[in-house]
Amino acid sequence: MPHFLLISYFLHLIHVFLYIFLQLLYNYCITYYYINLYIAAKESSIMRHLFIINPSSGKGKSLSYIPLIHELFDDKKDQYVIEITKYPGHASEIVGQYIKDEDFFVYAVGGDGTLNEIANILVNTNNALGVIPCGTGNDFIRSFMHSKNYKNILERTVNGKIEVIDTAKANNRYFVNIASIGFDSNVVYNARLFKKKKFIPSSMSYLLSLFYTPFKFKSIPMNITIDNITIKSNNLLFAVCNGSYYGGGIPISPHSSMNDGILDICMVKSCRLFRLLRCLPKALSANHTNIEEVSFYKGNNIHVQSNYEFIVQADGELTTCNDMTFEFYPNSLRILKPQ
């Protein structure tokens, strides 16, 4: 009997110790889980910022933002990285590497070309795009903000709020502002030639090209489809607009909105040189909407074909073809709107 009691006592003791051990193990696991959950929450609340700087934008103006970025983040816990591009296409390569595993606020510190490169990587992702304008035109930010107030633009953008905008494709490449065929794309081409001249200020290159190109350019016969509408016309210009401004501030499509769910099209039919020169000042001040040769349409699927090759510009990026399709993508890009 005493032996039986002794065995029962030890079994009871083992049961008590086992219960205490399992309770401690349970409490440890719960504590470990919540600690890791807390750490993960803290890490996820730390924002990651990626600044892509094009050193050639604004004749080096973009580089002046580097010390300002460091100063801005001195008292922030957010993580930030500064990358400087070295060649065309480098911006998209850099961004593609960074956003593989993590989401970022990505800032295009440069012109509309830098913006276009980065936007082509960020469309339909959870990443957000901020724009620090340093280029010649800076037309996207003007269309987006409907303002030229760039004071403290770095701080205002970093502390801005996310808005979602529409984008579109010109053949296989996205654009966020305006793509066009004809006179204006030739203006962009000639403006780049003028920009290379040391005695011509870069800010004047587009305006100079605007008055030079009419003497060289000839209208283009186009076969156009806008959704279910078919048009055959000799045109000086055919612009597909998500935003309002291009060419350094020309309001070619004054009433366009980047989140209205549709594209605006501005078409200018062929006219005599003298007539064109008289109408150009009206376009600069958004008074061209009532000109006889100017027509406006809306649509989401647009196709342009010609028997002649034409230059296409999309956000200032140039290509040459004779067949172009424009496709609309609603609510496809997250943008940081400056405060």
pLDDT tens, N- to C-terminus, the chain (339 residues): 455 556 665 666 676 666 677 677 766 666 565 455 444 434 445 789 999 999 988 777 899 999 999 999 998 889 999 999 999 999 999 999 999 989 999 999 998 889 999 999 999 999 999 999 988 778 898 888 866 777 899 999 999 999 999 999 999 999 999 999 998 899 888 888 888 887 777 767 878 887 888 888 889 999 999 998 999 999 999 999 999 998 888 899 999 999 999 999 999 998 887 777 777 777 777 878 888 889 999 999 999 999 999 999 999 899 999 999 999 999 999 999 998
pLDDT at 296: 94
pLDDT at 279: 73
Do 184 and 319 belong to one domain?
A: yes
pLDDT at 3: 57
Strands (E), the chain: 48-53, 79-84, 105-110, 128-133, 161-170, 173-175, 178-182, 220-226, 229-241, 263-269, 294-299, 301-314, 317-337
Does residue 34 form part of some domain? no
> pTM for the whole thing?
0.79
Do 183 and 324 belong to one domain?
A: yes
Instruction: Tell me how far CA of residue 317 lies from CA of 154, 250, 254, 293, in angstroms.
Output: 25, 17, 22, 27
Nearest Cα neighbor of 123 from 319, 265, 330, 312 is 330
Does residue 333 form part of some domain? no
Do 228 and 321 belong to one domain?
A: yes
Does residue 10 form part of some domain? no
Do 105 and 207 belong to one domain?
A: no
Q: Collapsing DSSP states into helix, strand and coil, what is residue 133?
A: strand
Distance CA 84, CA 23 (A): 55
Does residue 39 form part of some domain? no
Does residue 15 form part of some domain? no
How many domains are contained in the chain?
2
Does residue 14 form part of some domain? no
309's tokens? 């090759």
Do 191 and 240 belong to one domain?
A: yes
pLDDT at 247: 80
Does residue 116 form part of some domain? yes
295's tokens? 């027509």
Does residue 56 form part of some domain? yes
Q: Which domain holds residue 204?
A: 178-328
Question: What CATH number has the domain bearing residue 100?
Answer: 3.40.50.10330
Question: What CATH number has the domain bearing residue 254?
Answer: 2.60.200.40
Q: Collapsing DSSP states into helix, strand and coil, what is residue 336?
A: strand
Distance CA 7, CA 291 (A): 106
Residues counted in the chain: 339
Distance CA 243, CA 254 (A): 8
